[in-house]
Structure 1
């Protein structure tokens, strides 16, 4: 390797001090030789070789073939081995559960989706999650000992530090429930828990837009919420309440009562439930967000107009978020986003009109590309990060 190539590789790269930090260089999956790693880190080859051997013994790093030879025996390359372990990803909604077993890079090995009412309470729901999760690990052809962590997204506010729900409005009996403790006892591994929209933002970022450092994920369904990615990291706020978009007052909006006790909130005006209520007042038989989407897809003009108007209301709130946070990408997901361009057109119309040109110069507003998987992909990323961080690797290697 030339001096120039070494300089380019090492510019701005922190010098790893342990096996855990060395492992972070390999997480991109690119095969590297011991000499490559020594050049990047500036460490002695003997030190690098000892740490690579530790990582090889863990199974998290594996031989990846031989590099091109410049004379003599070709050097062996090494790369991250994401299939060495597995994680269980759990996305719980008001009326559904989606579970997946993935490898450590978020590749789905097997998944399951079923109706499950969150209102049945933590004991019923979490016991069911543990049973299905255990079956999925077996179905994926993995041993129980291969499972190293679990990630869970819940449809309500969560104290991320404890993993306990905090006064969740649509989750009766869940307030302060010890979700990590309950699942951890049943499955025997660490459990990470967060709000479902934060988890969906993580999933969209990790699986589709890893190069985007500033991203807003907007979920439009029975409620409305946002997950905030800034400087490449999820931002939860002081009490984990960041992104509660649905309870911001709509500028110039209708004075409709909201379940939070206020009036004129975005959720009360523009959520799937709010659209369904407005359409019923026009004489249409529609009871849910899914039925609203079905009407739009069937070409119903009243439903299409209502969804576009909801998009404008959402855009009015998002315009303020764009000015405040300056994201480069807004991803819109949730059931109502399946209505297609009607919702997106309304959002774009107002955001681009009301935000400053500098903030929208390179801003893209798109619908999710994860096809309902954002929650499990984010739960997987959250669970994997817990066991793949530098500190976690060093601790596991003793």
Structure 2
């Protein structure tokens, strides 16, 4: 007996049926009836509703076994767009994407997050509207916004909580400030969680256990476990930067403690050890120019990061560790230092198939993750049912 015929009927409406179509594979009404066990008249009604919403579109005809070929239908990711926002301490990258993360228009510029939520978010709105115009999409096509912020975020409310490098942002209602002007739902998370989501969905969808590590002004990690982002009880999971480095230097950290990973291995920490560097970008430029001192300091920073990651490998057992952020652009020196220590200090079982790699998204991990977060919010069964009702 065909396995499809054993599937129990689905009890809910068009939104639930839409989930079957999200993989992009065209299906006929007959296919959907077989998959769900529901009457063909019910299937026809729900397909018509989804077609009218634009989220599902005709996809040609299936091969015929005799008579008129049946029509097929598939998810239409171009039906709507989302705005993806990646904010860092000194940069912003915004992208307008379709519902599967295809970038339609993009903008990157230098900002100062310390200017506060008012000026920064006003600029986000301005650039977002410009991107809609560039992509020739009406404002009515925008269905949600995803935002990554460079500090701790209470994901359920989208409010930053005591962010150390974001003066004036504590408890700011970021979703309300943006949705008031853009008139759509706004999802907010810590930037490293968003980057982990972007790297996972776009580059490693088949990997269920992944750690994304951002090395820049600060150091943090996003944790993918069982295919899902893990934020912890208060959204503070993955804060590697404030773990003490075993045997590390007793340097003061902005958190008030000493010897934290961020104090000894972040971009500014590396720059402080060099004569000709003041920023993370300066460090990268020196390494690329062949400066031996810069290369040596970056590799040593990698070793410090590896000391902390070795404990993470033993605790979380990821199959892939992705290294991103500005300092990772220095190339293999950082990765070599990390690999040297992780493979030496972690148990063989945990590292047997472990890959430690550079980010593949070329600086887009944040906007790709913000896009995925925003799209998921509007493509859930409940959201689709609310839309077409």
Listed one character per residue, the Cα deviations across residues 72-109 of structure 1 (whole Å, up to 9, x for unaligned) are 11111111001110111111111111111111111100
Choose which of 267, 280, 288 in structure 2 pairs with 1:289: 280
Q: CA deviation at 1:379?
A: 0.7
Answer yes or no: is the 8 Å Cα contact 1:286–1:292 preserved in 2: yes
Q: Which residue does 2:313 correspond to in 1?
A: 322
Q: Which residue does 2:326 correspond to in 1?
A: 335
Listed one character per residue, the Cα deviations across residues 190-209 of structure 1 (whole Å, up to 9, x for unaligned) are 11111110111111111111
Q: CA deviation at 1:18?
A: 2.2
Q: Which residue does 2:132 correspond to in 1?
A: 137
Structure 2 distance, partners of 1:322, 1:27, is 33
Q: CA deviation at 1:62?
A: 0.3
What 5-or-longer segments of structure 1 have no aligned partner? Answer: none
Answer yes or no: is the 8 Å Cα contact 2:9–2:38 preserved in 1: no
Q: Which residue does 1:32 correspond to in 2?
A: 27
Q: Tell me the TM-score normalised to structure 1 length.
A: 0.95
Answer yes or no: is the 8 Å Cα contact 1:90–1:150 preserved in 2: yes
Answer yes or no: is the 8 Å Cα contact 1:16–1:22 preserved in 2: no
Q: CA deviation at 1:347?
A: 0.8
Choose which of 213, 216, 221 in structure 2 pairs with 1:218: 213
Q: 1:340 to 1:40 in 2, by over 3 A?
A: same
Answer yes or no: is the 8 Å Cα contact 2:281–2:326 preserved in 1: yes
Listed one character per residue, the Cα deviations across residues 340-363 of structure 1 (whole Å, up to 9, x for unaligned) are 111111111111111111111111
Report runs of 4+ in structure 1 exceeding 4 Å deviation: 13-16
Q: Does residue 303 of structure 2 align to residue 312 of structure 1?
A: yes
Q: Tell me the TM-score normalised to structure 2 length.
A: 0.97
Q: CA deviation at 1:230?
A: 0.9
Q: Does residue 246 of structure 2 align to residue 265 of structure 1?
A: no
Q: Which residue does 2:158 correspond to in 1?
A: 163
Answer yes or no: is the 8 Å Cα contact 2:343–2:351 preserved in 1: yes
Structure 2 distance, partners of 1:14, 1:169, is 51
Aligned residues: 389
Q: CA deviation at 1:16?
A: 6.2
Matches within 5 A, 1:308-387: 308-387=299-378
Structure 1 distance, partners of 2:33, 2:306, is 50
Structure 1 distance, partners of 2:301, 2:76, is 45
Structure 2 distance, partners of 1:144, 1:191, is 15
What 5-or-longer segments of structure 2 have no aligned partner? Answer: none
Listed one character per residue, the Cα deviations across residues 127-168 of structure 1 (whole Å, up to 9, x for unaligned) are 111111111111111011000111111111111111111111
Structure 2 distance, partners of 1:329, 1:303, is 27
Answer yes or no: is the 8 Å Cα contact 1:151–1:382 preserved in 2: yes
Structure 1 distance, partners of 2:164, 2:210, is 26
Answer yes or no: is the 8 Å Cα contact 2:96–2:105 preserved in 1: yes
Q: CA deviation at 1:43?
A: 2.3
Q: Does residue 60 of structure 2 align to residue 65 of structure 1?
A: yes
Choose which of 371, 385, 389 in structure 2 pairs with 1:394: 385
Choose which of 232, 247, 254 in structure 2 pairs with 1:252: 247
Q: Secondary structure in 2 aligned to 1:69? A: coil
Q: Which residue does 1:53 correspond to in 2?
A: 48
Q: CA deviation at 1:29?
A: 1.0
Q: Secondary structure in 2 aligned to 1:269? A: helix
Structure 2 distance, partners of 1:16, 1:308, is 56
Answer yes or no: is the 8 Å Cα contact 2:81–2:97 preserved in 1: yes
Listed one character per residue, the Cα deviations across residues 206-225 of structure 1 (whole Å, up to 9, x for unaligned) are 11111111111000001100
